[in-house]
Structure 1
Amino acid sequence: MKGFLQATFSGSASASQLRERYGARYRWLLLLSVLAGTIASLIPSTSVNVAIPAISAHFELGQARAQWITSGFMVASTVAMLTTPWLLSRFGYRVTYVGAITLLMVGALLGGVAQHFPLVLASRVAEGVAAGIIQPIPAVIILHAFQPHEQGRAGGLFGMGVVLAPAIAPALGGVLTDLLGWRSTFFMVVPVTLVALWLGVKFVPHSSPGGASVGENSAGLDWLGLALGAGGTLCLLNGMAQLHGDSRGPAYALLVLAALLLAGFILWQKALLARAKKPLMDLRLFSCRPFVMGCIVSAVYGTAMFGSTYLLPLFMQMGIGLSASYAGNLLLPAGLVLALTFPLVGRLADRQPTHWLVSIGLGLLALSFALMILVGNSTALWLLAAFIIVGRIGLGFILPSLNLGAMRPLEKTLIAQGAGTISFIRMLGGAAGVSLCGIVLQWRMAVHAADTTLPTEAGRLAAFHECFVLLTALCLIALAAATQLRAPAKAAKAG
Structure 2
Amino acid sequence: MSNTSHTQTEQAKIRPVPIAIALMIGAFIGLFSETALNMAFTNIMEQFQIEPHVVQWLTTGYLLVLGILVPISGLLLQWFTTRQLFIASLTFSIIGALIGAFAPSFELILLSRLVQAIGTALLLPLMTNVILLIFPPNKRGTVMGTMGLVIMCAPAVGPTLAGLLVDSWGWQSIFWMFIPVLLFTLIFGLIFMQNVSTITKPKIDIISISLSTIGFGGIVYGFSSAGEGAGSWGEINVLLPIIVGFVSLILFVIRQLKMEQPMLDLRVFKFPMFSISTLMVFICMMIILSSAILLPLYLKGGLLMTALAAGLVLLPGGFINGIMSPITGRLFDRFGPKYLVMPGFILTTVMTFLFTNISTDTSTITVIFMHAILFIGVAMIMMPSQTNGLNQLPKQNYPDGSAIMNTLSQIAGAIGTAVAVSIMAAGQAGYIAAASSNNPNVMPEALTAGVQNAFLFAFIASIIGLIVSFFVKRVKV
**TM-score normalised according to structure 1 size:** 0.87
**In 2, are the aligned partners of 1:40 and 1:193 still within 8 Å (CA)?**
yes
Q: 2:376 aligns with which of 393, 408, 413?
A: 393
**In 2, are the aligned partners of 1:289 and 1:484 still within 8 Å (CA)?**
no
For 1:460 and 1:162, locate their aligned partners in 2 and report how far apart those are by CA, in whole Å. 29
**In 2, are the aligned partners of 1:68 and 1:121 still within 8 Å (CA)?**
yes
For 1:248 and 1:283, locate their aligned partners in 2 and report how far apart those are by CA, in whole Å. 33
Equivalences for residues 92-491 of structure 1 within 5 A: 92-208=81-197, 213-214=198-199, 216-220=200-204, 222-243=205-226, 248=232, 251-252=235-236, 254-279=238-263, 281-452=264-435, 456=442, 458-486=445-473
For 1:379, the aligned partner's letter is T
**In 1, are the aligned partners of 2:157 and 2:318 still within 8 Å (CA)?**
no
For 1:123, the aligned partner's letter is S
Offset, 1:273 = 4.1
Post-superposition CA distance 1:64-101 (Å, at most 9, x none): 21110111111112221112221111011111111111
Offset, 1:390 = 0.8
**In 2, are the aligned partners of 1:233 and 1:258 still within 8 Å (CA)?**
no
**In 2, are the aligned partners of 1:232 and 1:259 still within 8 Å (CA)?**
no
For 2:449, the aligned partner's letter is A
Residue 73 of structure 1 corresponds to which residue in structure 2? Answer: 62
How many residues align? The count is 467
For 2:417 and 2:375, locate their aligned partners in 1 and report how far apart those are by CA, in whole Å. 17
Offset, 1:460 = 3.9
Runs of 4+ in structure 1 off by over 6 angstroms are none
Q: Residues 140, 370 of structure 1: CA spacing in aligned structure 2 closer, same or farther, 3 A cutoff?
A: same
Offset, 1:198 = 2.0
C-alpha root-mean-square deviation of aligned residues, in Å? Answer: 2.4
Please state whether the residue corresponding to 2:255 is helix, strand or coil.
helix
Q: Residues 111, 284 of structure 1: CA spacing in aligned structure 2 closer, same or farther, 3 A cutoff?
A: same
For 1:476, the aligned partner's letter is I
Q: Residues 349, 388 of structure 1: CA spacing in aligned structure 2 closer, same or farther, 3 A cutoff?
A: same
My pick for the range that moved more, 252-261 or 122-131, is: 252-261
Please state whether the residue corresponding to 1:360 is helix, strand or coil.
helix
My pick for the range that moved more, 252-261 or 33-42, is: 252-261
Structure 1 residue ranges without an equivalent (≥5): 1-13
Structure 2 residue ranges without an equivalent (≥5): 1-5
Q: 1:62 aligns with which of 45, 51, 73?
A: 51
**In 1, are the aligned partners of 2:62 and 2:114 still within 8 Å (CA)?**
yes
Residue 6 of structure 1 corresponds to which residue in structure 2? Answer: none
For 1:160 and 1:175, locate their aligned partners in 2 and report how far apart those are by CA, in whole Å. 22
Offset, 1:313 = 1.5
**Equivalent pairs: percent with the same residue?**
23
Q: Residues 162, 258 of structure 1: CA spacing in aligned structure 2 closer, same or farther, 3 A cutoff?
A: closer
Offset, 1:18 = 6.2
Offset, 1:173 = 2.4
Please state whether the residue corresponding to 2:359 is helix, strand or coil.
coil
Q: Residues 187, 17 of structure 1: CA spacing in aligned structure 2 closer, same or farther, 3 A cutoff?
A: farther
For 1:376 and 1:386, locate their aligned partners in 2 and report how far apart those are by CA, in whole Å. 15
**In 1, are the aligned partners of 2:321 and 2:378 still within 8 Å (CA)?**
yes
Post-superposition CA distance 1:350-376 (Å, at most 9, x none): 011213312221221111111123333
For 1:205 and 1:109, locate their aligned partners in 2 and report how far apart those are by CA, in whole Å. 27
Please state whether the residue corresponding to 1:410 is helix, strand or coil.
coil
For 2:249 and 2:451, locate their aligned partners in 1 and report how far apart those are by CA, in whole Å. 36
**In 2, are the aligned partners of 1:405 and 1:485 still within 8 Å (CA)?**
no
Offset, 1:35 = 0.9
**TM-score normalised according to structure 2 size:** 0.90
For 1:268, the aligned partner's letter is F
Offset, 1:207 = 3.5
For 2:230 and 2:38, locate their aligned partners in 1 and report how far apart those are by CA, in whole Å. 25
